Amino acid sequence: MSADYLDISVPIHAGMLVWSTHERPSMETVESLHAGAVNRVTHLSLTTHTGTHVDAPYHFLSDGVTTDGLALEALLGPAQVLDLTGRVEITADDLRQAGVGSVARVLLKTDNSRWIRTGPIPEVPAHLTEEAAKYLVERQVTLVGIDGLTVDAPDSVAAHRVLLEAGVIILETIDLSAVAPGDYELACLPLRLVGLDGAPARAVLRPLS
C-alpha cells in the first residue's frame, strides 16, 4: 500500500481477537495446487463482526437498514481522529474537549489500540457512555469508529442503540496505534452482504494537509 495511506484494519487470521461469544475465523483449503488442482481456493468461515467491521442499524433494530443499504457517502470522506488515550469511560465532555466539530466522521483513538491486535483485553476497555453517544448524534456525526471490539461498556448496549437508532454507522476494531490525531480522508468499504447486520471492512486513512 502507498505510504500516502494508513491501513487501520486489523489482519484476519485464525488466532485473532474476537468477541467472547464468537468463534474465531477458520480457513480451509478446498482446492490446492498440491492436490492436482490448477488453482487455490479457500473456504472462509467468520461472523459478520469479525475484525475491523461495520455495524448497520439492523444489528439492533428489527426494521433498521442492513449492510447493503448503507450510504456510501457516510463511509467515504473527511474524518477526524481524536485523541482519547488515558480515558476509559469516554463522556460527552471528553468528546467536546477533544474537538468533535463539523466533520461527520469521527474515529476515537484510545488505549485500546495497544491490545487490539494481540490482547490481552482489559476487564473494562475504553468505551462510550450513553451521553457521549447522544452528543455525537447532536453533533450530526454520521460515522463513529473506535479501536475496541465494541463502542459500549461491558454488559451494555446503550451507546449502540443511541447511535444506530439515529442512523449513525459504527466502525469497530480499528487499529489507530500508528495514527496521529488529526484530519484524514477515510475510505471504509464493508462487504456488500445482503440483508445482514454488519460486515467486515477494509478501512484506510489518507492524511489531509
Separation CA 160–CA 132 (nearest Å): 11
Say whether pTM exceeds 0.85: yes
Cβ pair 56, 67 in contact under 8 A: yes
Reduced DSSP (H G I as helix, E B as strand, rest coil) percent helix, strand, coil of the chain, to 5: 20, 30, 50
Q: Which residues pair with 43 in a beta bridge?
A: 28
Cβ pair 66, 56 in contact under 8 A: yes
Of the residues 49, 53, 59, 127, only one is catalytic, namely: 59
Q: Kindly report the CATH class assigned to 6-207.
A: alpha beta
Separation CA 162–CA 8 (nearest Å): 25
Helix (H) or strand (E) holding 137: helix 130-138
pLDDT for the residue numbered 51: 95
pLDDT for the residue numbered 37: 66
Separation CA 62–CA 92 (nearest Å): 28
Question: Does the annotation count 160 as an active-site position?
Answer: no
Cβ pair 142, 168 in contact under 8 A: yes
pLDDT, averaged in runs of 10, over the chain (209 residues):
83 87 84 71 92 96 95 96 97 96 94 94 96 97 97 96 97 97 97 97 94
Separation CA 149–CA 19 (nearest Å): 7
Q: How many residues does the chain have?
A: 209
Residue 108 DSSP symbol = E
pLDDT for the residue numbered 42: 87
